Amino acid sequence: MIVAFEPRVQDSRWRWMLTPVLALVAALVVMALVFLFIGVNPAAVYSQIIETSLTADYALGDTLAKATPLILTSLAVAFAFKMKVLSIGAEGQLLFGAIFATSAAIFLDGQPMVVVLPGTLAAGALGGIVWALIPGFLAAYAGVSIVITTLLLNFVATLFATYLIFGSASFLTENLYNFPQGREITREAWLSNIGSQSVTWGLAIALAAAVVVWCVFSLTRFGYNMKVTGDSQKAARYSGVNVKMMIILVMVGSGTLAGLAGAVEVAGRTHALDPHGLALGLGYTGIAVAVLARFRPLGIVIVSVLIAALINSGSALQSLSDNKVPAEIVDVMVGVTLIFALMGEVFVRNRLRFRFGHGRPMTGLAQVSDV
Amino acid sequence: MFDISWTLTFAAAIASGTPIVFAGLGALLSERVGVVNLGVEGIMLVGAVTSVAVYGATGSVQLAFLAAGIAGFIAGLLLCIVTITFRSNQIVAGLAITIFLTGVSVFAGSSLATDIRLPTPEEVALPLLSDIPFIGQVLFNHDVYVYSSWLLALVLSLFLFRTRPGLVARSLGENPQAAAALGVRVNLQRYGYVSVGGALIGFGGGYVAIAILGYWTGEATVGGLGWIAIALVIFASWRPIRLVAGAYVFGLIFQANFASQAAGYSFIPASFLSMLPYIITIAVLTILSLTRGRATGVVPAALGVPYHPGER
């Protein structure tokens, strides 16, 4: 028997939307088997996740607070991917956003809130742009792969932030109990909480960013040019698009979003530059979210909340059955879901054909059995 | 210059460069056949946790090292299934595998006994060679795994550049369509090489657990070495012997950090020294791009390009 993938002629929207849902269901089933294997009741784990991330007091607020930077970092990934540019630099751009935002907040100390808060957020966006422009220029003018440069610059950014806090006595730090840590920023730069919940108005910024990104993608000439350039640089060039400039602009947009994530973390949660307390890993999780959401802004908001719920329930899971379920089980779940979703995509783009007997399928068909 | 502390620093640089020799060679093999492996960090973690678990169960260091390779092989197979059979984006699949395997390793590691300590492997001084002043002590007084990593690099280099199957392997990363036209089963061969590459990456993780740390301490066991190994492949411009030399340059940078901190002077802050491997790699990549590395054969031309039979 020959099993073959045959490319589908028509792209179907519902199949794209179904893939991540089925991937999540498959991941939950597989994880349930794992929990049974180690002697933990899966129902207990899943109800614990729902309780700690959604139904308990303040749980939903905490989940939305966690989702806020995640929405922004995954939008950053999706923005670049609109032009088929895979940037994995949201992590480093987030850190530079945080460094710039903290610096601005400290510099603007004493000014009224209408100056300090917008200044802090704008500085955060600028920090992200600065760090995104390095791979942007290298790609546009030297043809260097954005994947690798953005990846490597993440580690440089982490080390730089570590240096600012622990290796230097800069204006960003203060000594508390003889232990260096980030200097707390002025209250005028804090994003206030929504009601009594832990989620701040940063969420509104993230949601507004999602709307803006959707508008850029769907309504503007620039969004259309991004799509054309991503599909074929040659075609874009013939139609008069400046491809080098597009690469730079796409990185500016992506960096703005990631930098804002850093600013929102500083202004809304950590209130200081703290490389260990900052949302480390949110840049990478943002890629997972963007892929699961098929790089669509609305989908990103939904998937971010789901993943944030999972992350927030991690520590509560440890209390279940003598520490048999460590918080890292959340990484396993995200990883399994992502792998299933990636594997599912082939069924969206192609249909499976089974052929019996001999004879090769028509040319143009790829064969699974022929790996 | 030849005093004892310098000798020790250089010898330690070689030891601390060895995990990225193994992992880098694995990533190199994978990239040479056209598959980017961004799962290195996760695969190293799986190798490390497996070797600690196997040592805890059997008490044999050799078995522990071997098990790390087997675990890496299976992880490499997983990458193949996702990227080759299911044709996913290699970059995203690699990151997904790192997220997944990091979680799996920490999950598995949390059920390990906390008191497993692996004995440091004995140093074997090579006769005659180790008597050479300075160089002998730096190069020829290490454990057997260091020597095996040299042998591995040599074999890999000879295989890739001096044998016919090696030529075919490289053609998978240069022009898979042409290879297929000559009757090579591209995806089957990629499966083999990427999985073997996974085994080498697993050895890298195993070496950290066995010789450098001697125990399992969660995600920090590997602590970013996997990403440095990916950078190292570029730094070495996809050449196995250069990769060994590059690994020791990076190893020296790790050691310089410790040395300058221990000596209490810091004319270059430790963080900036640690940035060097990444910054140098970006510089090398830029030079390769400006000199048209893909066109001139330094960079595998079909690197990262999936091969779907029937699509030309």
Chain B residues in contact with A285 (beta carbon < 8 A): 99
Share of chain A above pLDDT 70, in %: 89
According to the model, what pLDDT value does residue A322 have?
A: 64
Cβ contact, residue pair A155, B91, below 8 Å: no
Calculate the CA B141 to chain-centre distance.
22
Q: Of A167, A338, A365, which has the smallest distance from its Cβ to B96's Cβ?
A: A338
CB of B220 less than 8 A from some CB of A? no
pLDDT score of A264 more than 90: yes
Q: Which residue would you say has higher pLDDT here, A273 or B304?
A: A273
Cβ contact, residue pair B91, A152, below 8 Å: no
Residues within 8 A of B (CB atoms), A 268-297 only = 284-285, 287-288, 291
Mean pLDDT over B53-82 rounds to 96
According to the model, what pLDDT value does residue A355 have?
A: 66
Residues within 8 A of B (CB atoms), A 326-355 only = 326, 328-336, 338-339, 342-343, 345-346
According to the model, what pLDDT value does residue B3 have?
A: 57
According to the model, what pLDDT value does residue A365 have?
A: 42
pLDDT score of B139 more than 80: yes
- Of A207-211, B12-16, B70-74, give the lowest mean pLDDT range: B12-16
Mean pLDDT over B184-211 rounds to 96
Q: Which residue would you say has higher pLDDT here, A1 or A343?
A: A343
- What type of residue is A93? Q
pLDDT score of A174 more than 80: no
Mutate to test the interface with B, among A81, A137, A159 (most CBs of B within 10 A): A159
CB of A142 less than 8 A from some CB of B? yes
Q: Which residue would you say has higher pLDDT here, B19 or B112?
A: B19
According to the model, what pLDDT value does residue A366 have?
A: 44
Cβ contact, residue pair A288, B96, below 8 Å: yes
According to the model, what pLDDT value does residue A56 have?
A: 83
For residue A361, what pLDDT band results from cuts at 50, 70 and 90? Answer: very low
Q: CA of A149: which chain B residue's CA is closest?
A: B282
According to the model, what pLDDT value does residue A302 have?
A: 95
Residue A25 makes CB contacts below 8 A (sequence gap 6+) with none
According to the model, what pLDDT value does residue B310 have?
A: 57
Residue A297 makes CB contacts below 8 A (sequence gap 6+) with A75, A78, A210, A211, A213, A214, A217
Ordered alpha helix ranges (H), B140-210: 144-162, 164-174, 176-181, 186-207
According to the model, what pLDDT value does residue B273 have?
A: 87
pLDDT score of A369 more than 50: no
Residues shown for chain B:
312
According to the model, what pLDDT value does residue A109 have?
A: 86
For residue B235, what pLDDT band results from cuts at 50, 70 and 90? Answer: very high
According to the model, what pLDDT value does residue A371 have?
A: 35
Mean pLDDT over A37-44 rounds to 86
Mean pLDDT over A37-46 rounds to 86
User: Average per-residue pLDDT in chain B?
Assistant: 90
Q: Of B95, B219, B282, which has the smallest distance from its Cβ to A152's Cβ?
A: B282
Q: CA of A153: which chain B residue's CA is closest?
A: B278
Q: Which residue would you say has higher pLDDT here, A168 or B170?
A: B170
Q: Which of A113-122, B39-48, B216-225 has the highest mean pLDDT?
A: B39-48
- What type of residue is B14? I
Cβ contacts from A onto B, under 8 A: 154
CB of A139 less than 8 A from some CB of B? no
- Of B153-157, B265-269, B279-283, give the lowest mean pLDDT range: B265-269
pLDDT score of A46 more than 50: yes
According to the model, what pLDDT value does residue B311 have?
A: 52
pLDDT score of A364 more than 50: no
Tens-digit pLDDT profile for residues A68-101? 999 999 999 999 999 999 999 999 999 999 999 9
pLDDT score of A363 more than 50: no
CB of A370 less than 8 A from some CB of B? yes
User: Half-sphere exposure of residue A152, counting CA atoms within 13 Å on the CB side?
Assistant: 29
Question: Cα–Cα–Cα angle for B28, B31, B32, nearest 5°?
Answer: 80
CB of A115 less than 8 A from some CB of B? no
Residue A138 makes CB contacts below 8 A (sequence gap 6+) with A144, A149, B282, B286, B289
According to the model, what pLDDT value does residue B196 have?
A: 98
Mutate to test the interface with A, among B46, B86, B250, B260 (most CBs of A within 10 A): B86
For residue A298, what pLDDT band results from cuts at 50, 70 and 90? Answer: very high
According to the model, what pLDDT value does residue B262 have?
A: 65
pLDDT score of B122 more than 50: yes
Residue B197 backbone phi and psi in degrees, to 5: -55, -40
Q: Alpha-carbon distance A274 to A267, whole Å?
A: 12
CB of A162 less than 8 A from some CB of B? yes
Mean pLDDT over B5-31 rounds to 92
Task: Give the distance from residue A285's alpha carbon to the nearest chain B alpha carbon, in angstroms.
Answer: 9
Mean pLDDT over B201-215 rounds to 95
**Which residue has 């570590």 as its token pair?**
A162
pLDDT score of A17 more than 90: no
Task: Give the distance from residue A168's alpha carbon to the nearest chain B alpha carbon, in angstroms.
Answer: 9
pLDDT score of A271 more than 60: yes
Share of chain A above pLDDT 90, in %: 51
According to the model, what pLDDT value does residue A349 have?
A: 79
- What type of residue is B42? G
Mean pLDDT over B224-244 rounds to 95
